[in-house]
Amino acid sequence: MLSPRAILIGILAVAVVCLIVAWAELVTAQIMIGFLQLPPVALVGLFALVLANKAMRRISTRLGLSPPEIAAIYCMMVIAAMTSSRGLMEDLIPMLVGVNYFANPGNQWQQIFFGHIPQHLVPWDTGGGLEQRPVIAFFEGLREGEALPWAVWLGPLLNWLIPVLAMFAAFLCLATILRRQWSDNERLSFPLVQLPSEMIREQHGPFFRNPLMWIGFAVPAIIFAVNGIHNINPALPLLNVDININRYFLSPPWSSVGFVRAYVSPGAVGFFYLLPVELLLSFWSFYLLAKVQDVVFSALAFPPLSNPHGMGSGYVNYQTAGAYFVLVICFGAAALPHLKAVLRRAFSRSGPVGEDELIPYRTAVWGLILSLAVVAIWFHRAGMALGLAVFLLLVYVFVQAIIMARGCSEGGLPMAEGSFTPLDISAMLIRPSALGARTLTSVAFFDTLFARDLRGLLLTAFLDGQKLGDEVGLRRRRLLLVFIIAIAVAIPMAAAIQLWLPYHRGALGLYSFPYRRNNIQFFQENGAFLQGETRHAYGAIASFVVGGAIASVLSIMRVRYVGWPFHPLGYALSASWTTTVFWFPMLVAWLLKWSIVHYGGMRLYAKARPFFLGMIFGEFTSAVLWTLLAAFWDLRAPFFPWP
């Protein structure tokens, strides 16, 4: 049973999280603590809540919160962190003004796009030219005495809430449908839930009293402290946690290896220690194989294949796209008995009711269909061809989102990011320029808001929240109310903060990615298509087929041979930003875990586990503390190796 005080505390926590995330990611611009699928700010908030709860219980047991109540507040903080970061606001708000501010006679965006942008969807006059005060003030700051133009933003944001809330509802329904199969039938480990679960159950366990945990905590804490003090006094030493490997590959064909960095992150090593050895081996080895492919393609003078949405060449990215589709088919085949039962309930009322689920199965199926229909129709009315809108949505929800969720629930990836967009798939058969300027304008908005930057994907929060609820005794129907309240509070709170910050500090002086890159990327790309740029469809199709074939072989081998060392999920995610950032911690975690299990067995693995959980806890706590120090004393925060 959730008490009103738990909901009230959760609402206050949502407000605090929205403020901290906005300051850390946009102002400090060094510490990304909101877009991860296990947001550091939520984990540190949970720690503070657990400590406060222990203190209150010493006064009176009646004053303390129960584990289900603590879990509910934690889930609200996770939703708030994602919503105020890349899960929504850092994409939505900059997107609505970037196309106007960065339009110029050279890129011809005014001629290409402005006439196809519905007036009610943006806070500027689509027929009024480039120099518009609400847009200029957003990027350059308000003049002295000038008021923030709240009124021009209200209508567009309310209109955009229609597809946003419909998509969130679709994810709630999809999480309901997937939960039993992934959690009960396949028994996925949900690694991102393990540390919060340990902390919530602390009043019945020894987590905070384990010396190994605090030794692990100290490792990243010392690194952050040294680097933070270096920023204050550069004469003191710096511990490099960002090793540039590209400087060793300067001449062709090695220079074609692309972006290669080794990020030294004890917290990431702690995360990946929780994963099976075969998954770890697959992640880092397939990443390195993708880099070898890039070099080989360059050495053999393959024609460039454009796809700027992953961290490999277009050939590698389209291979991973093929792998995504094959894996979704494999997951669907494994879940076929469960899915048949759910669909029988939805269409004939003869299957399981799902009365103990987040939403009854019949409601979940029809809710998913109706929610996606709302999004498709909304974008169609905004200018997108209806057939394309349906196609983009199906790829986004049933391919990209499911693979990202699987990467978190099974692969333990703390960041959800892909290597292609739905338009990349349609471009294999239809030239983007053939879609026309009106459709490509709305596609630019769709990709920016949903399909490109998948970090902060709420589907994973809904799945992890259900798993956490199961472990601490929080009923799923209560959890549904928790999710709804968190979203309802976080959206207006995050919107207000992230309008106030740019107008008072100038977006050009804030973190560059949301304000000068992500918000205009697809207008740049789609504008180039309309001005004559094409894509090599044959190379894309061939790579897509090859990637699907490789994923099929890996899936078959994994099923037929016990001990097969390679997991197809590692291949599918080999060109993602997630693997690009974490390949080195994955390699380190694999070496450590293989050695520990090989020489000490599972008993030693279990004994060492608190040390690795401590490294996660220490790195995330340090990130949040240095964010607060940077905010209050105007310091430069140390680099957080989770870019």
pLDDT value at residue 256: 86
Q: Rounded CA gap, 447 and 427, in Å?
A: 14
For 392-420, what is each residue's pLDDT tens digit? 999 999 999 999 999 999 988 888 888 89
pLDDT value at residue 535: 63
Nearest alpha carbon to residue 194 among 266, 79, 279, 271: 271
Mean pLDDT, range 42-51, rounded to an integer = 91
- Which amino acid is present at 193? V
Dihedral sign (CA 180, 182, 188, 194): negative
Domain borders along the chain are 4-633
User: pLDDT-derived band of residue 536, with 50, 70 and 90 as boundaries?
Assistant: low
With 0-12 / 13-18 / 19 or more C-beta atoms within 10 angstroms meaning exposed / middle / buried, residue 215 is middle
pLDDT at 349 over 80: no
Q: Residue-wise over 307-321: b if at least 16 C-beta within 10 A, else e?
A: bebbbbbbbbbbbbb
The DSSP H or E segment spanning 299 is helix 277-299
Nearest alpha carbon to residue 366 among 185, 180, 176: 176
- Work out the percent of the chain whose per-residue pLDDT is above 90: 69
For 606-618, what is each residue's pLDDT tens digit? 999 999 999 999 9
Task: Using only the alpha carbons of the chain, give its radius of gyration.
Answer: 24
- Work out the percent of the chain whose per-residue pLDDT is above 70: 98
pLDDT at 29 over 90: no
HEC secondary structure over 560-628:
HCCCCCCCHHHHHCCCCHHHHHHHHHHHHHHHHHHHHHHHHHHHHHHHHHHHHHHHHHHHHHHHHHHHH
pLDDT value at residue 557: 94
pLDDT value at residue 34: 87
pLDDT at 291 over 70: yes
Nearest alpha carbon to residue 227 among 239, 219, 235, 210: 239
- The more confidently predicted of residues 171 and 558 is 171
pLDDT value at residue 572: 94
pLDDT at 111 over 90: yes
pLDDT value at residue 538: 81
**Among 40-54, 129-143, 347-361, where is mean pLDDT lowest?**
347-361
- Both tokens of 526, joined, read 């789609």
CA distances from 407 to 190, 226, 279, 404, 598 (A): 10, 33, 10, 5, 26
User: pLDDT-derived band of residue 205, with 50, 70 and 90 as boundaries?
Assistant: low
Mean pLDDT, range 139-154, rounded to an integer = 95
Cβ count within 10 A of residue 427: 24
pTM given for the model: 0.94
- Which residues, in sequence order, are bridge partners of residue 262? 243
The answer to whether the CB of 20 falls within 8 A of the CB of 41 is yes
CA angle 209, 268, 564 (to 5 degrees): 110
For 56-105, what is each residue's pLDDT tens digit? 888 877 888 999 999 999 999 999 999 999 999 999 999 999 999 999 99
Mean pLDDT, range 489-499, rounded to an integer = 97
> Cα(first)–Cα(last) distance of the chain, in Å?
39
- Which residues, in sequence order, are bridge partners of residue 263? 242
The DSSP-derived string for 50-84 is: HHHHHHHHHH-GGGSPPHHHHHHHHHHHHHHHHHH
Q: How many CA atoms, within 13 angstroms, populate the side-chain half-sphere of residue 19? A: 9
